Amino acid sequence: MYPGLPHVHILLWLKDRINPDDIDKYIRAEIPDPILQPELYRIVTTHMLHGPCGSMNMNASCMENNKCKKK
């Protein structure tokens, strides 16, 4: 496993409030294209996505003592 993948946590202060329904107009996250960026796609889908776990996948890496350690 990689020791801390590059990522960012951002807090934005906007002059005007926005409605929760408008969030997708301003913020977006994308999974890399598996054809154009196969290595980046593999890294993101392996290390940065959670689930399925619990009864659907008891062998998931987040499972510890039959419970998801990420809650």
Count of domains for the chain: 1
Find residue 67's DSSP bridge partners: 64
The whole-number pLDDT of residue 4 equals 56
Q: What residues make up the domain containing 11?
A: 1-71
H-run or E-run covering 64: strand 63-64
The whole-number pLDDT of residue 5 equals 59
* Average pLDDT, 10 consecutive residues per value, the chain (71 residues): 61 82 82 93 80 84 86 75
Q: What is the mean pLDDT of the chain?
A: 81
This prediction's pTM: 0.47
Q: How far apart are CA 65 and CA 33, in angstroms?
A: 35
- Going by the DSSP 8-state scheme, the letter that residue 3 receives in this structure is S
Q: Which SS3 state, helix, strand or coil, does residue 54 take?
A: strand
Taking the alpha carbons at both ends of the chain, their separation in whole angstroms is: 21
The whole-number pLDDT of residue 1 equals 42
